């Protein structure tokens, strides 16, 4: 029988798949995991069940089987009180021979099993947020099997990964609804929700950190050294340099890899929501809190919490964050119970925190808590020798999806790309290459005509600052000088609006009076 990949490889594959999976792809990921578990255990069918703690009933959410065997089609209106009551109490159920081993008082279960071709069955309960709300089951249909402790341990490991992924998807959906309600109640206030956009979007290939330049290798070597520890890490660097990807790499190489890495974008949520997002809230804690919600710290317990754009935290939020970093203890909003977590912090910012401390915008005590091990990621202009490698990696990653095949990048184009200063770093490079792939009709990469003109100026000897200034002016004119919002300059350049405004001030670029808002 084909057992597929080893169990260790299966777990590593699932952790990688679910570490940043878009929520619309969770179901496909769960189906894939169930198929691989069947192969690995040599069983016939595996199913994921969701248990309702209020009613003691359950429902089938996913089921996959080996080729030639039908997946489970359990009716969700059937009631199995004996079965689900024990799963809800955290009991693992093992049956080497069905229905003989079911107790006599489990009448609905015995009647159902007698009509099904299931010979052996094991169900392992899975806890999320301190409650047994899922179970992963697997069965044999062609021969009886004695379930070992190793079988149960493997099922529990895979099941916990799947249960956490589905639970995180539910939390993200609830957060979407909460933010929509806030926007309706606070007319005129537009709280950007970049965390959710990033959480549901596919990971962009141009965020990949690739290269052999000394500047990049130094940062990666530092990351490799600190990854196995629990030391707090502060990632520094401009927008688009790959800070989130490096954070994920640190988590993947840490001793916490079996637990989740949870991300929160500190710049995306207003101060009124940041406490609820970090620490969670109890039902009725505030208007709209119709149910209790687990905060990011609880979700990241025994794992890693990635605080992106930590330099954008408001002063009040900084104080609350410092408290939990010092003690590891917190209360949910509206709650009285003190909770304790074990979380490794990786923070990132594109701001100069030393200047922010001097200006009184960032607490020194919080800075020293976060910056136990700072790592600076170099901007693309400081690792120009990596640009050819990045260009070809981006081409290979996206050309199949975009329906083209590129075999050659003209030397003059590559040299011009290396001369450009890339204010948006790898994100901007990815944007330029993606547009070029869409526009290229043959096997040679052809850049957007307007951007190509800027590169030709760089090739002719203009200073990097002049080329950057001309490119930014071109983008701004094209967007009628609109910086923020969908389809406008910051999004095209893949920069934060605040970062773009800072770059414009540095280059002395001012919107002419004739330009419209």
**Would you list the domain boundaries of the chain?**
7-166, 191-378, 381-507
Please give the C-alpha separations between residue 51 and each of 110, 127, 170, 266, 289, in angstroms, as whole numbers.
20, 10, 15, 34, 23
Q: Which own/partner pairs from 137-140 qualify as long-range (CB within 8 Å, at least 24 positions apart)?
A: 137/46, 137/47, 137/48, 137/49, 138/37, 138/38, 138/41, 138/43, 138/45, 138/46, 138/47, 139/43, 139/44, 139/45, 139/46, 140/43, 140/44
Closest CA to 398 of 208, 212, 226: 208
Q: Which residues in 236-249 are b (16+ Cβ under 10 Å) and which e?
A: bbbbbbbbbbbbbb
* CA–CA dist 102, 24 (Å, integer): 38
Cα 15 from chain centroid (whole Å): 11
* CA–CA dist 434, 440 (Å, integer): 10
Three-class secondary structure assignment of 276-293? HHHHEECCCCCCCCCCCE
Residue 349 predicted with pLDDT over 90: yes
Residue 9 predicted with pLDDT over 70: yes
Q: Which of 46-50, 234-238, 272-276, 441-445 has the least mean pLDDT?
A: 272-276
Residue 19 predicted with pLDDT over 80: no
- In the prediction, which pLDDT does 333 show? 84
Beta pairing partners, 126: 134
Q: Which own/partner pairs from 126-129 qualify as long-range (CB within 8 Å, at least 24 positions apart)?
A: 126/156, 126/159, 126/160, 126/162, 126/163, 127/90, 127/163, 128/163, 128/164, 128/167, 129/167, 129/294, 129/298
Q: Which of 67-81, 108-122, 413-427 has the least mean pLDDT?
A: 67-81
Q: What is the CATH number of domain 7-166?
A: 3.30.450.40
Contact 343, 306 (CB under 8 A): no
* CA–CA dist 103, 61 (Å, integer): 26
- In the prediction, which pLDDT does 203 show? 33
The CATH number corresponding to 191-378 among 3.20.20.70, 3.30.70.940, 3.30.460.30, 3.40.50.300 equals 3.40.50.300
* CA–CA dist 410, 391 (Å, integer): 12
Nearest 10 degrees: Cα torsion 100, 103, 104, 109: -80
Mind listing the pLDDT tens digit for each residue in 405-451?
888 888 888 888 888 888 888 888 988 899 889 888 888 888 877 67
Lookup: tokens for 31 = 């189906």
Mind listing the pLDDT tens digit for each residue in 173-186?
777 666 655 554 44
Lookup: tokens for 93 = 């159920």
Specify the CATH class of 381-507 in words. mainly alpha
Residue 137 predicted with pLDDT over 90: yes
Asked if omega into 99 is within 30° of 0 (cis), the reply is yes
Mind listing the pLDDT tens digit for each residue in 236-246?
998 888 899 99
Residues 6 or more apart whose Cβ sits within 8 Å of residue 471: 420, 423, 451, 454
């Amino acid at each position: 029988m084909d057992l597929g990949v080893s169990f260790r490889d299966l777990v590593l594959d699932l952790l990688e798949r679910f570490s940043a999976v878009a929520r619309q792809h969770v179901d496909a990921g769960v189906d894939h995991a169930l198929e691989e578990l069947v192969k690995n255990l040599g069983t016939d069918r595996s199913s994921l069940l969701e248990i309702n703690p209020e009613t003691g009933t359950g429902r089938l959410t996913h089921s996959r089987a080996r080729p030639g065997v039908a997946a489970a089609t359990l009716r969700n209106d059937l009631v199995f009180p004996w079965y689900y009551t024990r799963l809800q109490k955290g009991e693992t159920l093992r049956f080497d021979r069905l229905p003989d081993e079911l107790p006599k008082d489990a009448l609905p279960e015995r009647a159902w099993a007698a009509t099904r071709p299931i010979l052996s069955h094991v169900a392992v309960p899975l806890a999320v947020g301190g409650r047994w709300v899922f179970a992963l089951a697997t069965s044999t249909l062609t021969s009886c099997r004695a379930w070992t402790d190793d079988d149960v341990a493997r099922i529990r490991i895979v099941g916990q990964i799947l249960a956490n992924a589905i639970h995180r998807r539910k939390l993200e959906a609830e957060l979407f609804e909460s933010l929509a309600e806030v926007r309706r109640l606070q007319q005129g206030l537009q709280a950007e929700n970049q965390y959710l956009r990033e959480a549901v979007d596919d990971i962009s290939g141009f965020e990949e950190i690739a290269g052999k330049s000394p500047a990049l290798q130094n940062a990666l070597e530092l990351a490799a050294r600190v990854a196995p520890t629990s030391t707090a890490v502060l990632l520094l660097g401009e927008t688009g340099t790959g800070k989130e990807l490096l954070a994920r790499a640190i988590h993947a190489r840490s001793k916490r890899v079996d637990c989740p890495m949870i991300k929160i974008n500190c710049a995306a949520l207003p101060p009124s929501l940041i406490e609820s997002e970090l620490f969670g809230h109890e039902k009725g804690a505030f208007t709209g809190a119709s149910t209790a919600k687990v905060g990011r710290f609880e979700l990241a317990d025994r794992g890693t919490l990635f605080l992106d754009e930590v330099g954008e935290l408001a002063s009040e939020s900084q104080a609350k964050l410092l408290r939990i970093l010092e003690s590891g203890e917190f209360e949910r909003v509206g709650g009285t119970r003190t909770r304790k977590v074990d979380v490794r912090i990786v923070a990132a910012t594109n701001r100069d925190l030393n200047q922010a401390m001097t200006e009184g915008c960032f607490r020194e005590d919080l800075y020293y808590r976060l910056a136990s091990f700072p790592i600076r990621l170099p901007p693309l202009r400081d690792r120009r020798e990596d640009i050819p490698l990045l260009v070809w990696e981006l081409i290979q990653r996206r050309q199949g999806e975009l329906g083209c095949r590129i075999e050659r990048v003209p030397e003059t184009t590559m040299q011009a790309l290396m001369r450009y200063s890339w204010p948006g770093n790898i994100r901007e490079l990815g944007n330029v290459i993606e547009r070029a792939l869409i526009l290229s009709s043959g096997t040679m990469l052809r850049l957007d005509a307007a951007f190509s003109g800027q590169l030709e100026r760089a090739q002719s000897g203009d200073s990097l600052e002049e080329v950057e200034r001309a490119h930014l002016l071109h983008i701004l004119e094209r967007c009628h000088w609109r910086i923020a919002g969908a389809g406008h300059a910051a999004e095209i350049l893949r920069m934060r609006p605040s970062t773009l405004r800072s770059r414009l001030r540095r280059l002395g670029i001012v919107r002419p009076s004739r330009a419209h808002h």
